């Protein structure tokens, strides 16, 4: 998920860059924190010899995609395309 990168202004993002997250009072950042914690657990097991690969997919599509115009860029683009509107980038 792209949320792991947080608010880091250093673009393009790097997996080894510092994570810059918002305040703990904003719920959005608990998702990013939980994903980063999961990566830390996986990488700890890598040091014990378990083969680990971490993927940070985002803006993926498939059968469980959000409703049109809700949430992610893919559904927003699809809604605009179906209505014959220009894509908002």
Q: Is pLDDT of 26 > 70?
A: yes
Terminal-to-terminal C-alpha distance of the chain: 20
Looking at residue 49, what is its pLDDT? 96
Choose, from 31, 45, 57, 61, the residue flagged as catalytic.
Answer: 31
Distance, in Å, from the CA atom of 71 to the CA atom of 30, rounded to the nearest integer, reads: 18
40-51: pLDDT as tens digits? 999 999 999 999
51-89: pLDDT as tens digits? 999 888 877 777 767 677 666 788 888 889 999 999 988
Is 61 considered catalytic here? no
């Amino acid at each position: 998920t792209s949320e792991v990168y947080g608010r880091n202004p250093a673009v393009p993002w790097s997996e080894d860059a510092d994570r810059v997250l918002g305040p703990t009072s904003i719920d959005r950042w608990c998702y990013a924190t939980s994903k980063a914690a999961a990566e830390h657990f996986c990488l700890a097991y890598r040091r014990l010899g378990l083969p680990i690969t971490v993927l940070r997919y985002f803006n993926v599509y498939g059968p469980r995609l959000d409703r049109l115009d809700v949430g992610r860029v893919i559904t927003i683009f699809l809604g605009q395309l179906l209505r014959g509107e220009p894509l908002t980038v």
